[in-house]
């Protein structure tokens, strides 16, 4: 979705809020791709569903066109409402099917038969709907967040579920620093890589791609009339004189010098970014090699990132000959690791 499309969507939504019946129809070509992603995601959760993605979108369009008097805030608001409509549609159909299977005139089908022919998603559309409704009674804001996570709208922000793998060895930072209510305990088994078939661990969490997420957040904030101002501060008094209550220093660069704080220690690292050919591949491999050398790889939407290095106290922004040697080492260690030789990685 281009910035021009985003501006157009905002204009269409304003017109729609003002009573224009044509605005939704004119906006549809600009939002169709995102609606398709949302519909596809919900369709995958519908057990034994027969509706096609296009049919879900068409029905949702008809229901959206009947929505009058909504003060549309922005495109995120629109996609959230569209996702809720699709969810309710599929829940109604799923409940009707369930009623039929329980004696509403259909042939009897055993649970074993259903399990044999029906793919079992993590959570059915009915289970998801019931969970969201229960959560909304306790915390409406959290329910909205979960709904956005499951609607496909999160894909706009570079957020995706991913499988994570490590060697089956103690990783102190992960083993001691990860709360189990956030990331479940890993499963143990053989790693699913072509050449790296050694004992490992698997767990699931979320990928947040800053190359997509940050521009989208900036874009959303600008839509809300938030101003972005670049400033250079010479003394702490310059910071204290700001009228703004919140100041974001994303990188932390300069903080040590500005506040004369020796406890602020910069850390510099190296990454190698490779072009990815398989768009469905999402995984993260960490924990280093078998000899404790730091090495990891993770897939994002459009690339693969290899790492890594840690240089405490180094805040240089320039790349020199010494850095070239580190980049080559990272590539070499990745080849060794995924070539099935995790003990052969080198540090220097």
Query: Residues of 47-68 as b/e, b for ≥16 C-beta within 10 angstroms?
Result: bebebebeebbebbbeebeeee
- Range with the lowest mean pLDDT among 38-42, 136-140, 220-224? 136-140
Of 248, 200, 258, the closest CA to residue 226 belongs to: 248
pLDDT grade for 303, boundaries at 50, 70 and 90:
confident
177-213 residue pLDDT tens:
676 666 777 889 998 888 888 888 888 777 788 888 8
**Which pair of tokens denotes residue 179?**
């709360």
Cα gap 41→156, rounded to integer Å: 14
CATH entry 3.30.9.10 includes domain 160-209+266-344: yes
Cβ atoms of 290 and 296 within 8 Å: the answer is no
Rounded to 5 degrees, what are φ and ψ at 110? -75, 160
Predicted local confidence at residue 326, as pLDDT = 92
Burial-class residue 91 by CB neighbours within 10 Å (0-12, 13-18, 19+).
buried
C-alpha distances (whole Å) from 253 to each of 155, 266, 311, 317 are 30, 8, 15, 10
Predicted local confidence at residue 173, as pLDDT = 65
Residues in the chain: 348
Q: Model's pTM, two decimal places?
A: 0.58
Cα gap 221→169, rounded to integer Å: 43
Cα gap 325→327, rounded to integer Å: 6
Does position 297 have pLDDT exceeding 70, yes or no?
yes
C-alpha distances (whole Å) from 311 to each of 35, 210, 270, 345 are 44, 22, 9, 18
99-133 residue pLDDT tens:
554 444 433 322 232 222 223 333 455 565 666 56
C-alpha distances (whole Å) from 8 to each of 24, 29, 72, 73 are 11, 11, 14, 14
- Which value, to the nearest 10 degrees, does the dihedral of the CA atoms of residues 226, 227, 229, 235 take? -60
Pairing of strands 283-286, 159-167: parallel
At which residue do the structure tokens 């499951």 appear?
A: 150
Q: Where are the alpha helices (DSSP H) in the chain?
A: 3-17, 22-45, 53-65, 75-101, 111-117, 125-138, 140-151, 172-177, 210-223, 236-240, 255-259, 321-338
Give, for 296, the enclosing helix (H) or strand (E): strand 296-299
If DSSP codes are grouped into helix, strand and coil, which group holds residue 160? strand
Region(s) of the chain under CATH 3.30.9.10:
160-209+266-344
The set of residues, in sequence order, having a beta carbon less than 8 Å from that of 185 and lying 6+ positions away, is 203
Does position 140 have pLDDT exceeding 70, yes or no?
no
At which residue do the structure tokens 């980049």 appear?
A: 327
28-60 residue pLDDT tens:
888 888 888 888 877 776 655 567 888 888 888
């Amino acid at each position: 979705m281009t910035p021009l499309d985003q501006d157009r969507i905002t204009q269409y939504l304003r017109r729609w809020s003002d009573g224009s019946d044509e605005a939704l129809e004119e906006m549809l070509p600009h939002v169709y791709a995102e609606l398709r992603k949302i519909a596809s995601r919900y369709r995958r959760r519908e057990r034994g569903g027969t509706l096609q993605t296009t049919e879900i979108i068409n029905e949702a369009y008809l229901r959206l066109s009947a929505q009058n008097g909504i003060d549309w805030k922005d495109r995120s608001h629109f996609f959230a409402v569209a996702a809720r409509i699709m969810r309710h549609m599929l829940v109604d159909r799923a409940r009707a099917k369930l009623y039929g299977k329980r004696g509403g005139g259909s042939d009897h089908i055993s649970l074993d038969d259903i399990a044999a022919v029906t793919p079992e998603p993590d959570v059915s559309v009915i289970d998801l709907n019931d969970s969201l409704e229960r959560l909304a009674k306790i915390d409406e804001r959290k329910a909205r967040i979960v709904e956005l996570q499951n609607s496909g709208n999160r894909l706009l922000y570079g957020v995706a579920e991913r499988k994570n793998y490590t060697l089956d060895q103690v990783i102190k930072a992960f083993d001691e620093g990860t709360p189990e209510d956030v990331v479940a305990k890993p499963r143990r088994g053989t790693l699913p890589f072509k050449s790296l078939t050694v004992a490992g661990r698997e767990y699931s969490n979320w990928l947040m791609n800053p190359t997509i997420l940050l521009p989208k957040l900036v874009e959303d904030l600008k839509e809300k009339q938030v101003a972005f101002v670049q400033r250079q501060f010479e003394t702490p008094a310059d910071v204290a004189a700001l009228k703004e209550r919140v100041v974001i220093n994303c990188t932390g660069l300069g903080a040590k010098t500005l506040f004369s704080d020796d406890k602020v220690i910069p850390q510099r690292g190296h990454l190698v970014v490779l072009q990815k050919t398989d768009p469905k591949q999402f995984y993260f491999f960490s924990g280093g090699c078998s000899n404790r050398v730091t090495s990891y790889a993770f897939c994002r939407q459009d690339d693969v990132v290899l790492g890594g290095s840690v240089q405490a106290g180094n805040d240089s922004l320039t790349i020199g000959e010494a850095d070239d040697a580190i980049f080559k080492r990272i590539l070499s260690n990745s080849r060794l690791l995924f070539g099935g030789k995790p003990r052969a990685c080198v540090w220097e």
